[in-house]
Amino acid sequence: MEKGKAFLVGAGPGDVQLITVKGLEAIKKAEVILYDRLANPKLLDYAPSDCELIYCGKLPDRHVLRQEMINDLLVAKVLEGKIVVRLKGGDPGVFGRVGEEAAALAENGLSFEIVPGITSGIAAPLYAGIPVTHREFGESFAVVTAHDKSENGQPKLDWNGLATGIDTIAFYMGISNLPYISENLIRNGKSQETPVILIQWGTFSRQQTLEGTLSNIAAKAEEVNFTNPAITLVGDIVSLREKLNWFEKKPLFGKQIVLARTGTDESELARELMEQGADVIEFPKWKRVTVPIDQRVIKRIAEYEQILFTSPESVREFIQVLIAEGIDVRRVKADFYGCSAKSVKALKDKGFFAELEGEMPQHGKLLIVGDREIPLNYDHADRFLTSQKVIDEQFTPIFKRVLEEASVNTIVLPCSISVKTFIEEGILKETIPQQLLKTSEIICMGVKTAEAARQYGMKADMVLESPDKTTVIDRLCRKEAAYV
């Protein structure tokens, strides 16, 4: 069997857009991905639908897989002839143990590449408004581990060199050792009034910061139960934060949104929400499989008076079927409608006039085009499956882990179909905690969506009259928006 190849990839600090081009290309061609807890799981959306995903995450109090097991698994998968991506948070060469993994591959004569990433010790301060170097505040910068392999986990460092020779110091994962760090820096000459900032979940919308000095930061962190993952930045350069704090001023900073999905294509709404500073958890993760074409519908295609498309993908697939079957589109006499603004846009992009589902008359011969998720209240309609959309169950445990660490405060339901999926696949199967329905603002994009939500016992906090991404963004940014 031909040997495979490994790519040891830095996933960046958290913001999904901070992955390198080369790292993203590796993910897109991967057959196996071994990923860590701190690698943003949204990056896995770019992997092929048949890619094997293996969680290697570590928590402070337990290991899912120990490093030796990860090394062995990495070697085994490459020996199977697979393209294997080892996806690690930040930069794999900065406290990422990439040297051990690369050595295991080299010792077995296996091919590998190391793809650098943006390390959190630089990125997290920048997202908190603090460059790690500045001509007026510091010309030297050090990255330091705040833990080592000793029994007490307290690193044996050149404290005198750090205290007297380095202007700015970034300690990785150092919250539990804050008293030890502060004490040693002060003892070796650092002023007890030296500014310190703790940055938790840097570059995510759930980024939290805590400022203090070497003399009081440990007590402050204990008082508010500040935890890892976090960067501890020490130095006078921290004072720049007040002037340069940019990320936390984004209009949707702090918004942690669950966006109910019905399609397999990349979500423009999710992308725009993230651009405005929000964290977005898209649920569920779908993949498509082909189905046989229903020739009975094809033969009667000219008889339908309305055709309702359930997703943008269904528009593309319907046109492909017509072409494959040699059917002139002019034979289709029906008016076109979409279950969402995205579906309507997909139709208009193909040159067809279309309206939203809510504008569709309740009489006439109706064909619903899409997958098995048929909208409520359309029992009389014919159905044409262009493909079968199924939930990618590999992502179920990923969603659960993400939701455990997030503090979701907003739920966005784009269409009536998304409501059904959100409840039946998320809430009822306990992938999504039911408590979120009580603690989150529920936004329904359109009256039909709100009606579907009510049928499942959900009360919308906001019903948008214009169910499009611009209205959602405006509403969440607290601008004027049309709603009822």
From CA 484, how far away is CA 480, in angstroms rounded? Answer: 13
Which of 5, 22, 58, 250 is an active site residue? 58
Does 376 reside within a domain? yes
Q: Which of 390, 419, 435 is the last residue of a domain?
A: 390
Domain assignment present for residue 482? The answer is: no
Q: Scanning the structure block, which residue is given the tokens 């199967």?
A: 429
User: Average per-residue pLDDT in the chain?
Assistant: 92
- Look at residue 375 in the predicted model and tell me its pLDDT: 60
87 with 147, same domain: the answer is no
Q: Examine the domain organization and report whether 382 and 399 are in the same domain.
A: no
* 324 and 469 fall within a common domain: no
For residues 134 and 241, state if they share a domain: yes
What is the CATH number for 437?
3.40.50.10090
Both 376 and 298 in one domain: the answer is yes
> Rounded CA gap, 241 and 322, in Å?
58
Let me know whether 270 and 298 are in one domain.
Answer: no
Residue 103 lies inside a defined structural domain of this protein: yes
Q: Which of 36, 335, 392, 474 is catalytic?
A: 36
**In angstroms, rounded to a whole number, what is the distance separating the alpha carbons of residues 37 and 330?**
52
Residue 479 CB neighbour total at 10 angstroms: 11
Give the model confidence (pLDDT) of 94-122 as tens digits. 999 999 999 999 999 999 999 999 999 99
pLDDT band at 370; cut points 50, 70, 90: confident
CB 241 within 8 A of CB 197: yes
Check residues 87 and 448 and name the one with the higher pLDDT: 87
Instruction: Give residue 363's region: left, alpha or beta (phi > 0; psi -120 to 50).
Output: beta
Residue corresponding to tokens 């896995």: 44
Query: Is 137 among the domain residues?
Result: yes
Per-residue pLDDT band at 63 (split at 50, 70, 90): low
What is residue 58's predicted lDDT score, i.e. its pLDDT?
64
pLDDT band of residue 179 (cuts 50, 70, 90) is very high
The residue type found at 18 is: L
pTM: 0.83
Q: Is residue 484 included in any domain, yes or no? A: no
320 with 401, same domain: the answer is no
The pLDDT assigned to 149 comes to: 64
* Residues 355 and 253 sit within 8 Å (Cβ to Cβ): no
What pLDDT is stored for residue 387 in this prediction? 84
pLDDT(371) > 80: no
Q: Give residue 150's pLDDT.
A: 63
Q: What is the mean pLDDT of residues 69-84?
A: 96
CB neighbours of residue 182 within 10 Å: 24
Cis peptide before 312 (omega within 30 of 0): no
What is the pLDDT at residue 376?
A: 56
Of residues 63 and 412, more confidence is placed in 412
Same domain, 237 and 134: yes
Residues of the chain above pLDDT 70, percent: 94
State the Rg of the chain over Cα. 26
Count how many domains the chain has.
4
Whether 365 is a known active-site residue: answer no
Across 170-174, 201-205, 355-359, which has the greatest mean pLDDT?
Answer: 201-205
Q: Which residue has the tokens 């959900």?
A: 458
Q: Which helix (H) or strand (E) holds 95?
A: none
Place of tokens 């120990």: 66
- Residue of 91, 173, 255, 468 with catalytic role: 173
Site of tokens 């994009």: 445
CA quadruple 57, 58, 59, 64: dihedral sign: positive
Question: Is residue 58 annotated as a catalytic residue, yes or no?
Answer: yes
Domain-embedded: residue 481: no
Domain end call among 191, 226, 249: 249
Task: Return d(Cα 377, Cα 367) in angstroms, integer.
Answer: 13
Q: Is the pLDDT of residue 5 over 70?
A: yes
With a cut of 90, say whether residue 465 has pLDDT above it: no
In a domain, 483, yes or no: no
Could you tell me if 245 and 131 lie in one domain?
Answer: yes
Task: Residue 185: give the domain boundaries.
Answer: 122-249
CATH of the domain at 88: 3.40.1010.10
Let me know whether 69 and 107 are in one domain. Answer: yes
If asked whether residues 147 and 240 sit together in one domain, one would say yes
Most confidently modeled of 29-38, 291-300, 464-473? 29-38
Look at residues 390, 421, 443 and tell me which one is the last residue of a structural domain.
Answer: 390
If asked whether residues 311 and 386 sit together in one domain, one would say yes
Q: How far apart are CA 206 and CA 279, in angstroms?
A: 7
- What 320-324 contacts at long range (C-beta under 8 Å, 24+ apart), as own/partner pairs, is 320/386, 321/293, 321/386, 324/293
CA–CA distance, 70 with 323 (Å, rounded to integer): 48
Give the DSSP letter string of 213-234.
Answer: ETTTHHHHHHHHT--SSEEEEE
The confidence band for 83, taking pLDDT boundaries of 50, 70 and 90, is: very high
SS3 385: strand
Q: Is 417 within a domain?
A: yes
The whole-angstrom separation of Cα 317 and Cα 300 is 18
pLDDT in tens, 304-336: 999 999 888 899 999 999 999 999 998 999 999
**Who wins on pLDDT, 358 or 248?**
248
d(CA 196, CA 217): 7
